[in-house]
Structure 1
Amino acid sequence: MRTQVAIVGGGPAGLLLSHLLHLQGVDSVVLERRSAEYVQQRVRAGVLEQGTVDLLTEAGVGERMRREGEVHNGVHIQFDEDRVHIPFKELTGRAITVYGQQEVVKDLTERRLADGGRVLFEVDDVRVAGVDTDDPVVHYTHEGVPHELHADFVAGCDGFHGICRDAIPADVRTVYERVYPFGWLGILADVPPSSDELIYANNANGFALLSMRSATISRMYLQVAPEESLDRWPDERIWAELSTRLGAPGFTLQQGPIFDKSVTAMRSFVAEPLRYGRLFLAGDSAHIVPPTGAKGLNLAVSDVDRLAESIADYYRTGSETGIDTYSAACLERVWRVQHFSWWMTSMTHRFEGPDAAFDRRLQRSQFDYLGRSAASATTLAENYVGLPLR
């Protein structure tokens, strides 16, 4: 089989890239090792930047998002029992939309299949070869039969644990990584959110985040040890700790049945370059950010938006300028987002060790500055709602 662009990974990055290429007349095939049901039910990020919302809308896959997504014009930052509101709309003219990643995947999958797109789920033994030649090939097995997919370009949208990043030789690849000494215990609860906007809370017991997935389902997080066992966190303890960390005058935390729990370790990760020969990395295959800034999905969208335009321009005009500058252009945004996510994490989490008391005083100073400085609040707001995609 032959195509113009072979896309490894059928999550939001791979599906959106395939759709954007289709809109510009470029053929692609998407290969995904998981089942369609698994990908569409996988709980991940739920905060979309203004640029992501606009792109999905312009690409014709934003109708349900516009109908069911929750638009937030601000966010709350809390230190102990003191709370500051950051008014996004007032400070930047933009907002965020809360809409689950799995819903984005459902919308994209439905659209790609309706358009006749080739999306193959449950493929095995995926391997890329010849990416430094004019005829790269993706080897894979589907329904027990081995296949070869020849393409002009290969897009690695297969996540942090995928195979595409390792196709770039180690001697031309540089990896930057920071592993944080804590993780997030995340829950989904069958209860309406206790706030109309997200609350980031820095408490002496540790970080907490009140978020939501819909008008009836709450999504919340607690800072825990990175290898924490869920057995140590029965529902009663979770609600008690959330109530403590999110506690503030006049605030009541609504409680209900918890139907999902998981612990996620936190890291910052960047692999450079994002291009080697005819292979391009996009999304989590190239970079990971701590979830504090809600940037993972949005950064992937930025990557594939630029990649789709670069590849389409190559076929349209013969120019290789876009594909030649893809890595450097993406990395400029990647490192801006890495800094913001690190900054948000540093401001809101409890750190231990000999400098813990000093760190907490710095955090208090930063919190107070947010409350009295429009410039500081605007910086947070501008980065949170997202810089322009290009």
Structure 2
Amino acid sequence: MKTQVVIIGAGPAGLLLGHLLRAEGVDCVIVERAAADYVLGRIRAGVLERTTTDLLERLGIDERLRREGLLEEGFCLADGERLIRIDTYGLTGKHVTVYGQTEVTRDLMEAAPGRGLEIIYEAADVALHAIDSEAPYVSFTKDGSERRIDARFIAGCDGYHGPSRRAIPASAAREYERVYPFGWLGILADVAPCHDELIYANHARGFALASMRSRVRSRYYIDVPLTERVEDWPDERLWDELAIRLGPEAATRISRGPAIEKSIAPLRSYVFEPMRHGSLFLAGDAAHIVPPTGAKGLNLAASDVAYLSEALTGYFRRGDRDGVAGFSAKALARVWKAERFSWSLTKLMHRFPEDGPFERQMQMAELDYIASSRAAQTAIAENYVGLPL
């Protein structure tokens, strides 16, 4: 089998790249190790920057997004006593949209057959070959038989644990990582949100986040040590802790209900450089991880894909090699800015084990400054809604 681009991974990054390439007449095939149902079963974030929603609109895969997505004009920071509202729309003129990553994936998957985007699910033992050449190929096993796809380029959109990044020689790579000493314990429940907008809370007992997936489905988090187990947190204990950490105003509006899903997600900041080696490109979690603070993960993947689709389209339609050559530097410039924002917001809103009374007072002073400074709020708002491509 031959194609122009093999895309490894059928998460939102790979699917979005596939649709963008097909819309420009570039042949591509997506190879995914898991079954389609498994891909759809992943519970992920749900705040979309304008960059992401614009791409879906451009593709005409935004009907359900426009119907069901919640436009958000701001969000709140809480210091245990008060809510500090960041008026993102008033400060930047831009919205974010609350719409689950699972729903984005579903929309992209369902649109694929009608647009000629081929997806091969349940591909085992995926391996990349000859990535230093102009004739790379991907091998895998499907239904017990070995298969091969030859291409001009390979796009690794297969996440942190996929084979794409590991195919790049260690001698050609640099890795940057910060592992955080806590995780986010999350609960998803079919209850109305406690607030119309997201709340990031810094309390003496720790961090909390109130978010939503819809008007009738809420997603809440608290930070816990990595030694904690989900089994130690029955629903009522978690609801009680949320009510304390989110502060009195939000606590009175919390509706409690049984968990649909409950899990602990570790936090890390990670960047792999470069994002291109030979005929292989990396996008999304294959190249970088951000803490969920600030909701940058999916949106960074979308900006990677926007840059990459533009570069590949230029190569195949006009013979332009400059876009391909410049992809990594262009993508990484935006990646590092998003990493900075997620890291700084994580530092501001969480209690670290090494922090003492001084660090706590610095956090409180920073929040108090943000509450009274339009300039500080504007900087936060610009980063939260997404920096321009």
Question: Is TM > 0.5 for Structure 1 vs Structure 2?
Answer: yes
Say if 2:304 is the partner of 1:335: no
Secondary structure of the residue that 1:242 maps to in structure 2? helix
Where does residue 71 of structure 2 map in the other structure?
71
User: What CA deviation, in whole Å up to 9, does each residue of 1:94-141 have, x standing for no partner?
Assistant: 011000001001110111122121101111000001000111010001
Unaligned runs of 5+ in 1: none
Where does residue 282 of structure 2 map in the other structure?
281
Where does residue 310 of structure 2 map in the other structure?
309
Paired positions, count: 388
Where does residue 132 of structure 1 map in the other structure?
132
- State the alpha-carbon separation in 2 of the partners of residues 174 and 194 from structure 1: 43
Contact 1:226 1:266 in 2 (8 A): no
Where does residue 255 of structure 1 map in the other structure?
256
User: What CA deviation, in whole Å up to 9, does each residue of 1:222-252 have, x standing for no partner?
Assistant: 1001242111101110010001001224742
Contact 1:351 1:359 in 2 (8 A): no
- State the alpha-carbon separation in 2 of the partners of residues 227 and 56 from structure 1: 40
Where does residue 235 of structure 1 map in the other structure?
235
Give runs of aligned pairs for residues 349-368 of structure 1, distance below 5 A: 349-353=350-354, 355-368=355-368
Secondary structure of the residue that 2:255 maps to in structure 1? coil
What one-letter code is carried by the residue in structure 2 that aligns with 1:164? Answer: S
What one-letter code is carried by the residue in structure 2 that aligns with 1:167? Answer: A
Secondary structure of the residue that 1:188 maps to in structure 2? strand
Secondary structure of the residue that 1:291 maps to in structure 2? coil
Secondary structure of the residue that 2:26 maps to in structure 1? coil
Where does residue 380 of structure 2 map in the other structure?
380
Give runs of aligned pairs for residues 20-169 of structure 1, distance below 5 A: 20-169=20-169
What one-letter code is carried by the residue in structure 1 that aligns with 2:47? Answer: V
Say if 2:374 is the partner of 1:344: no
Contact 2:82 2:247 in 1 (8 A): no
Cα distance, 1:297 vs. partner?
A: 0.1
Cα distance, 1:350 vs. partner?
A: 1.1
Contact 2:48 2:96 in 1 (8 A): yes
- State the alpha-carbon separation in 2 of the partners of residues 358 and 292 from structure 1: 23
- State the alpha-carbon separation in 2 of the partners of residues 96 and 116 from structure 1: 30
- State the alpha-carbon separation in 1 of the partners of residues 292 and 226 from structure 2: 14
What one-letter code is carried by the residue in structure 2 that aligns with 1:328? Answer: A
Secondary structure of the residue that 1:340 maps to in structure 2? helix
- State the alpha-carbon separation in 2 of the partners of residues 257 and 219 from structure 1: 12
- State the alpha-carbon separation in 2 of the partners of residues 147 and 337 from structure 1: 38
- State the alpha-carbon separation in 1 of the partners of residues 382 and 290 from structure 2: 18
Secondary structure of the residue that 1:3 maps to in structure 2? coil
Secondary structure of the residue that 1:94 maps to in structure 2? coil
Secondary structure of the residue that 2:65 maps to in structure 1? helix
- State the alpha-carbon separation in 2 of the partners of residues 356 and 154 from structure 1: 48
The worse-fitting range, judged by mean Cα deviation, of 244-253 and 283-292 is 244-253
Secondary structure of the residue that 2:188 maps to in structure 1? strand
Give runs of aligned pairs for residues 161-310 of structure 1, distance below 5 A: 161-249=161-249, 251-310=252-311
- State the alpha-carbon separation in 1 of the partners of residues 325 and 127 from structure 2: 24
Cα distance, 1:320 vs. partner?
A: 0.4
Cα distance, 1:6 vs. partner?
A: 0.2
Cα distance, 1:311 vs. partner?
A: 0.4
Contact 2:28 2:118 in 1 (8 A): yes
Cα distance, 1:153 vs. partner?
A: 0.2
Secondary structure of the residue that 1:243 maps to in structure 2? helix
- State the alpha-carbon separation in 2 of the partners of residues 276 and 51 from structure 1: 26
Say if 2:361 is the partner of 1:325: no
Cα distance, 1:253 vs. partner?
A: 1.4
User: What CA deviation, in whole Å up to 9, does each residue of 1:195-238 have, x standing for no partner?
Assistant: 10000000011000000111111001010012421111011100
- State the alpha-carbon separation in 2 of the partners of residues 335 and 300 from structure 1: 13
- State the alpha-carbon separation in 1 of the partners of residues 228 and 272 from structure 2: 28
The worse-fitting range, judged by mean Cα deviation, of 19-28 and 110-119 is 110-119
What one-letter code is carried by the residue in structure 1 that aligns with 2:299? Answer: N
- State the alpha-carbon separation in 2 of the partners of residues 167 and 121 from structure 1: 21
TM-score w.r.t. the length of structure 2 is: 0.98
Cα distance, 1:53 vs. partner?
A: 1.1
Q: Quote the RMSD (CA, aligned, Å).
A: 0.9
- State the alpha-carbon separation in 1 of the partners of residues 140 and 160 from structure 2: 19
Cα distance, 1:356 vs. partner?
A: 2.0
- State the alpha-carbon separation in 2 of the partners of residues 113 and 141 from structure 1: 22
- State the alpha-carbon separation in 2 of the partners of residues 238 and 117 from structure 1: 43
- State the alpha-carbon separation in 1 of the partners of residues 227 and 333 from structure 2: 32
What one-letter code is carried by the residue in structure 2 that aligns with 1:236? Answer: E
- State the alpha-carbon separation in 2 of the partners of residues 156 and 260 from structure 1: 29
Secondary structure of the residue that 1:292 maps to in structure 2? coil
User: What CA deviation, in whole Å up to 9, does each residue of 1:154-182 have, x standing for no partner?
Assistant: 00000000010011100010000000011
User: What CA deviation, in whole Å up to 9, does each residue of 1:326-356 have, x standing for no partner?
Assistant: 0000000000000000011001011222x42
